[in-house]
């Protein structure tokens, strides 16, 4: 049976207690009795009661003492005093001590029951209210805790965009004390570049669910954080209670929301996308980004009926630097080159590292090919000065192919292929220059890939041969030597000339084996001729830089000479200027060793490489070969004729023998002779011919005593 209340009856008279207990039980109350004040105190300390019926006059611990105990301990008991005590002081003291009511003994049962009934329901109501209040305050505490300790900023803005609420997280994430921001406009902490976006976060349509936006905020120490906002309009109908809390405005339209710090994520995303689109070594855009930009340039140029240029840049002989100095140094060199290239382009142009030693350049704003040529010239000049890398003075040059949109290609693929083709023709013509694409290129140049693949078996299949081009003494008019020039009799492509495959052989490293073969073959041919009584004064062989870089290069040559019993003085090796300038593989030491052994050293294509001439003294040189470009221009351009004069005087000053290459006309010969050039080589006398024709040439030579009339 459910009871109406739980009562404690306190009296020092047991009879009275028992009769009251019987009465109250009868009326549905649960009762506990305490005989005397002392017993009451122990029970009150231990249990909860809805009501205490208390006698005042008790020995030792009186009713007043019990009331005082209740008050002191802030117990929440409703107490009805039932006592024979009638003095005003005693009763008013009891009421002052918190008694709820007073009944006089002897009590009427009716009166007692009514008073108890009222008191119990009032006590129960109070208890209930208290419980609810506690629950409310607990839940408020919980919500506040959750809000204040949220990992995100929680905020509220009024309709003007000023903060009306901010949680404690604001301090942690942005460094501001929230009181400094309350009442201030949101715009005060927004990043200036995002200012135009904050309106969307402040004025949110009531019908909208929420607005999401990442904005940059300025922190108290003036750094920038990326915050991901989710903002919602305050729906007054939904939480009508809010009207009481919010500023007293009839049509309040504020927003509230959460702002999450996503700085790390965004930075990571930026890094990832940067990495995906940039070359890690040079920090230049990579191939993907270049292709994207080119595709964009195509769309734009098509729409605006404009043109643009795409350049393909390939460093000349870069592999050599890697192979001789090692990749770490090659990497440093690439970085330095990238820097110089970057300085040649304007904002809006895209310079990219396409791979290895290849760069591409997109010039979206040009008016004609002249603009592209200007940039190419600039690049060529920029790379001229030496690079100083970890104590090495290194030189490089670049071959540039240029394709123009829309003239040379309609899409990315076509433009890149054509720029590459143009670049390749520059490589074939001796590197270090630029070339605009021309449609007739395609049919003439053999496919690079095919050549590279075929090169591998060409050596084993003995598809190479040597041609020899005579060199003629200007004074005597007699043949003074031969230059060995390699030819490749390709089974499908027919005869290929060095400019069509040497570069590829160099890039694949095959040139080392090929070069070895060439030297041995030349020595062998010389010996064969010598045995037939044909005396060749000098036989010159072209050497690739990669060959010299081989540690055993000098020993190998000396070994070959010895095994064929050819005196070293009959051999000349031709090297290029660049090889000496980028001297990292002890080329100097090897050349000196060879020179001491008696081998002649010649600098080939002199004048095309580098303007600095002082280094010539450092090397054990015998011969300078003037590049045929200068010879070719003797009659036409004053400037180059000047250069020939300069080269002649340098050679004389250094006591070097001078050979002019590519002499095709009598006028050139006369000019060179007059300047004091010693020897000439060129179509005027003979092209390079196969070995078996040399015999005829030599015999004709000795018969007439002169290969040509001079
Ligand atoms: P190079 O050493 O400067 O050889 C001279 C080139 O000019 C030869 O071309 C020759 O045929 C050409 N030439 C000679 N006289 C005339 C002339 O009067 N007019 C014109 N227009 N050209 C003339 P080739 O044989 O095609 O060789 C090209 C280059 O290939 C050589 O230039 C040399 O650097 C390289 N090369 C040739 N053989 C070898 C080789 O065995 N090993 C290496 N590493 N390179 C070689
Ligand atoms: Mg040569
Ligand atoms: Mg030459």
Other C-beta atoms closer than 10 Å to the C-beta of 373 total: 16
Amino acid 630: pLDDT = 82
Task: Give the per-residue SS3 of 444-463.
Answer: HCCCHHHHHHHHHHHCCCCC
- 406 cis-preceded (ω within 30 degrees of 0): yes
Q: Whose CA is nearest to atom 41 of ligand 1?
A: 486
Amino acid 596: pLDDT = 96
Ligand nearest to the CA of 626: 3
The per-residue pLDDT for range 506-516, each reduced to its tens digit, is 877 889 999 99
Q: In ligand 1, which atom is closest to the CA atom of 466?
A: 41
Measured distance CA(558)–CA(543) in Å, rounded = 15
In CATH, what number does 138-267 get?
A: 3.30.450.20
**Structure tokens given for 66:** 């019990």
Q: In ligand 1, which atom is closest to the CA atom of 485?
A: 38
Mean pLDDT of 59-80: 94
Measured distance CA(297)–CA(308) in Å, rounded = 8
Ligand 1 touching residue 547 (CB < 6 A):
no
Burial class of residue 519 in the structure, from the number of CB atoms within 10 Å of its CB (0-12 exposed, 13-18 middle, 19+ buried): buried
Alpha-carbon distances, residue 4 vs 20, 24, 356, 640 (angstroms): 16, 10, 94, 125
Query: What b/e string do you get for 204-238 counting C-beta neighbours within 10 Å, with b at 16 or more?
Result: beeeeeebebbbbbbeeeeeebbbbbbbebbebee
Q: Please list the residues that pair with 464 across neighbouring strands.
A: 488
Cβ atoms of residues 580 and 615 within 8 Å: yes
Residue 603 Cα to ligand 2 midpoint, Å, equals 8
Alpha-carbon distances, residue 392 vs 90, 584, 642 (angstroms): 112, 8, 32
Share of the chain above pLDDT 70, in %: 91
Give the residue with greater pLDDT, 400 vs 457.
400
- Look up the pTM and report it: 0.58
Other C-beta atoms closer than 10 Å to the C-beta of 631 total: 27
Poorest-pLDDT segment among 158-167, 242-251, 340-349, 430-439: 242-251
Predicted confidence (pLDDT) at residue 291 exceeds the cutoff of 90: yes
User: Nearest Cα to 409, choosing from 389, 439, 387?
Assistant: 439
Predicted confidence (pLDDT) at residue 380 exceeds the cutoff of 70: yes
Residue 486 Cα to ligand 1 midpoint, Å, equals 8
Q: Whose CA is nearest to atom 22 of ligand 1?
A: 662
Mean pLDDT of 304-316: 94
Residue 489 Cα to ligand 1 midpoint, Å, equals 16
Q: Whose CA is nearest to atom 13 of ligand 1?
A: 662
Q: Where are the domains of the chain?
A: 6-134, 138-267, 281-442, 450-702
Measured distance CA(29)–CA(4) in Å, rounded = 5
Q: Which of 661, 665, 679 to mutate for ligand 1's pocket (most ligand atoms within 8 Å of CB)?
A: 661
Cβ atoms of residues 256 and 157 within 8 Å: yes
Give the residue with greater pLDDT, 691 vs 709.
691
Largest CA distance in the chain: 169
Q: Which of 470, 485, 486 to mutate for ligand 1's pocket (most ligand atoms within 8 Å of CB)?
A: 485
Ligand 1 touching residue 338 (CB < 6 A):
no
Query: DSSP labels for 140-182?
Result: HHHHHHHHHT-SSEEEEE-TTSBEEEE-THHHHHH---HHHHT
**Structure tokens given for 699:** 């015999």
Q: In ligand 1, which atom is closest to the CA atom of 688?
A: 11
Predicted confidence (pLDDT) at residue 641 exceeds the cutoff of 70: no
Residue 674 Cα to ligand 3 midpoint, Å, equals 21
Mean pLDDT of 359-372: 93
Ligand 1 touching residue 661 (CB < 6 A):
yes
Measured distance CA(161)–CA(105) in Å, rounded = 71
Q: In ligand 1, which atom is closest to the CA atom of 515?
A: 42
Amino acid 1: pLDDT = 46
Measured distance CA(261)–CA(65) in Å, rounded = 62
Ligand 1 touching residue 360 (CB < 6 A):
no
Alpha-carbon distances, residue 598 vs 237, 558, 566, 609 (angstroms): 105, 10, 11, 27
Confidence of residue 527 (pLDDT cuts 50, 70, 90): very high
> Which residues neighbour ligand 2 (ion) by CB within 5 Å?
542, 574, 604
Per DSSP, 278 falls in state B
Residues 6+ apart with CB under 8 A from 559: none
Q: Whose CA is nearest to atom 10 of ligand 1?
A: 688
**Which DSSP helix (H) or strand (E) runs through 520?**
helix 511-531
Ligand 1 touching residue 545 (CB < 6 A):
no
Residue 625 Cα to ligand 3 midpoint, Å, equals 7
Mean pLDDT of 129-147: 91
Confidence of residue 124 (pLDDT cuts 50, 70, 90): confident
Cβ atoms of residues 632 and 662 within 8 Å: yes
Mean pLDDT of 258-266: 93
Per DSSP, 281 falls in state T
Measured distance CA(561)–CA(578) in Å, rounded = 26
In the three-class reduction of DSSP (H, G, I as helix; E, B as strand; rest coil), residue 65 is classed as: helix
Measured distance CA(602)–CA(638) in Å, rounded = 27
Measured distance CA(687)–CA(469) in Å, rounded = 6
Amino acid 695: pLDDT = 86
Ligand nearest to the CA of 506: 1
Confidence of residue 187 (pLDDT cuts 50, 70, 90): very high
Other C-beta atoms closer than 10 Å to the C-beta of 528 total: 13
Measured distance CA(405)–CA(310) in Å, rounded = 8
Ligand 1 touching residue 485 (CB < 6 A):
yes
Residues 6+ apart with CB under 8 A from 261: 152, 153, 173, 225, 226, 227, 228
Ligand 1 touching residue 470 (CB < 6 A):
no
Q: In ligand 1, which atom is closest to the CA atom of 627?
A: 3
Cβ atoms of residues 367 and 301 within 8 Å: no
Query: DSSP labels for 585-601?
Result: S-HHHHHHHHHHHT-EE
Predicted confidence (pLDDT) at residue 351 exceeds the cutoff of 90: yes
The per-residue pLDDT for range 397-439, each reduced to its tens digit, is 899 999 999 999 999 999 999 999 999 888 877 677 899 998 7
Amino acid 126: pLDDT = 84
Q: Report the CATH architecture of 6-134.
A: 3-Layer(aba) Sandwich (3.40)
Measured distance CA(227)–CA(260) in Å, rounded = 5
Measured distance CA(260)–CA(560) in Å, rounded = 76
Q: Whose CA is nearest to atom 4 of ligand 1?
A: 485
Query: DSSP labels for 554-613?
Result: HHHHHHHHHHTT--GGGEEEEEEHHHHHT--S-HHHHHHHHHHHT-EEEEEEETSS-S--
Amino acid 569: pLDDT = 96
Cβ atoms of residues 190 and 217 within 8 Å: yes
Confidence of residue 371 (pLDDT cuts 50, 70, 90): very high
Q: Whose CA is nearest to atom 35 of ligand 1?
A: 498
Half-sphere exposure of 78 (CA within 13 A, CB side): 21
Domain 450-702 in the same topology as domain 6-134: no
Predicted confidence (pLDDT) at residue 312 exceeds the cutoff of 90: yes
Amino acid 607: pLDDT = 72
Query: Mean pLDDT for the chain?
Result: 88
Amino acid 611: pLDDT = 45
Q: In ligand 1, which atom is closest to the CA atom of 498?
A: 30
Poorest-pLDDT segment among 109-123, 414-428, 525-539, 689-703: 689-703
Alpha carbon 481 to its chain's center: 56
Amino acid 706: pLDDT = 52
Q: What angle do CA 435, 663, 427 make, to 5 degrees?
A: 25
Predicted confidence (pLDDT) at residue 25 exceeds the cutoff of 90: yes
Q: Report the CATH architecture of 281-442.
A: 2-Layer Sandwich (3.30)
Measured distance CA(252)–CA(629) in Å, rounded = 85
Q: Report the CATH architecture of 450-702.
A: Alpha-Beta Barrel (3.20)
Measured distance CA(452)–CA(444) in Å, rounded = 17
Ligand nearest to the CA of 486: 1
Burial class of residue 371 in the structure, from the number of CB atoms within 10 Å of its CB (0-12 exposed, 13-18 middle, 19+ buried): middle
- For 321, phi then psi, to 5°, come to -60, -45
Amino acid 620: pLDDT = 87
Q: Whose CA is nearest to atom 34 of ligand 1?
A: 542
User: Nearest Cα to 522, choosing from 567, 468, 588?
Assistant: 468
- For 308, phi then psi, to 5°, come to -150, 165
Ligand 1 touching residue 628 (CB < 6 A):
yes
Measured distance CA(637)–CA(631) in Å, rounded = 10
């Amino acid at each position: 049976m459910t009871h109406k209340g739980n009562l404690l009856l306190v009296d020092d008279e047991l009879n009275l207690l028992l009769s009251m207990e019987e009465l109250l039980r009868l009326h549905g109350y649960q009762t506990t009795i305490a005989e005397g004040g002392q017993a009451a105190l122990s029970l009150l300390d231990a249990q909860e009661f809805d009501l205490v019926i208390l006698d005042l006059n008790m020995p030792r611990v009186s009713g007043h003492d019990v009331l005082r105990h209740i008050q002191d301990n802030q117990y929440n008991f409703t107490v009805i005093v039932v006592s024979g005590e009638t003095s005003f002081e005693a009763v008013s003291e009891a009421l002052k001590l918190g008694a709820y009511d007073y009944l006089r003994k002897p009590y009427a049962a009716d009166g007692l029951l009514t008073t108890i009934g009222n008191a119990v329901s009032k006590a129960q109501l109070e208890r209930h209210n208290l419980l609810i209040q506690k629950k409310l305050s607990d839940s408020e505490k919980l919500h506040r805790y959750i809000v204040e300790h949220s990992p995100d900023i929680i905020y509220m803005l009024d309709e003007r965009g000023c903060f009306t609420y901010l949680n404690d997280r604001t301090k942690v994430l942005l460094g501001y004390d929230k009181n400094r921001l309350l009442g201030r406009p949101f715009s005060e902490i927004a990043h200036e570049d995002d200012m135009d976006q904050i309106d969307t976060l402040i004025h949110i349509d009531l019908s909208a669910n929420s607005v999401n936006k990442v904005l940059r905020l300025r922190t108290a120490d003036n750094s920038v954080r990326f915050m991901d906002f989710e903002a919602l309009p305050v729906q007054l109908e939904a939480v009508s209670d809010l009207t009481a809390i919010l500023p007293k405005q009839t049509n309040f339209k504020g927003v509230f929301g959460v702002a999450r710090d996503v700085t790390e994520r965004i930075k990571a995303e930026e890094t990832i996308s940067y990495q995906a689109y940039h070359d890690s070594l040079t920090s230049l855009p990579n191939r993907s980004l270049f292709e994207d930009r080119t595709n964009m340039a195509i769309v734009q140029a098509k729409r605006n009926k404009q043109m643009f240029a795409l350049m393909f840049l390939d460093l000349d002989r870069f592999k050599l630097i890697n192979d001789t100095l090692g990749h770490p140094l090659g990497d440093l060199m690439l970085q330095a080159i990238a820097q110089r290239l970057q300085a040649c382009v304007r904002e809006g142009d895209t310079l990219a590292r396409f791979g290895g030693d290849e760069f591409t350049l997109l010039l979206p704003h040009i008016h004609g090919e002249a603009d592209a040529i200007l940039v190419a010239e600039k690049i060529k000049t920029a790379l001229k000065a030496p690079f100083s890398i970890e104590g090495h003075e290194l030189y490089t040059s670049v071959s540039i192919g240029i394709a123009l949109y829309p003239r040379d290609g309609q899409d990315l693929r076509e433009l890149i292929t054509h720029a590459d083709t143009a670049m390749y023709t520059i490589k074939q013509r001796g590197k270090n220059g630029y070339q605009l694409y021309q449609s007739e290129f395609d049919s003439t140049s053999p496919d690079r890939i095919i050549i590279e693949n075929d090169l591998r078996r060409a050596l084993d299949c003995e598809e190479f041969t040597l041609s020899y081009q005579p060199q003629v003494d200007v004074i005597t008019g007699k043949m003074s030597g031969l230059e060995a020039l390699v030819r490749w009799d390709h089974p499908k492509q027919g005869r290929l000339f060095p400019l069509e495959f040497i570069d590829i052989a160099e890039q694949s490293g095959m040139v080392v084996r090929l070069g070895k073969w060439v030297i041995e073959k030349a020595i062998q041919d010389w010996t064969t001729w010598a045995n037939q009584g044909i005396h060749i004064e000098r036989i010159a062989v072209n050497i690739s830089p990669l060959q010299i870089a081989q540690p055993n290069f000098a020993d190998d040559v000396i070994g070959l000479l010895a095994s064929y019993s050819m005196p070293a003085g009959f051999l000349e090796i031709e090297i290029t200027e660049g090889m000496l300038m980028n001297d990292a593989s002890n080329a100097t030491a090897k050349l000196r060793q060879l020179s001491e052994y008696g081998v002649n050293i010649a600098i080939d294509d002199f004048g095309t490489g580098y303007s600095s001439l002082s280094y010539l003294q450092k090397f054990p040189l015998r011969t300078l070969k003037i590049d045929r470009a200068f010879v070719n221009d003797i009659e036409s351009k004053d400037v180059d004729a000047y250069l020939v004069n300069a080269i002649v005087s340098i050679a004389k000053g250094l006591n070097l023998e001078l050979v002019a290459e590519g002499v095709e006309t009598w006028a050139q010969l006369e000019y060179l002779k007059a300047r004091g050039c010693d020897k000439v080589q060129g179509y005027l006398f003979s092209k390079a011919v196969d070995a078996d024709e040399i015999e005829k040439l030599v015999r004709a030579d000795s018969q007439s005593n002169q290969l040509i009339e001079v």
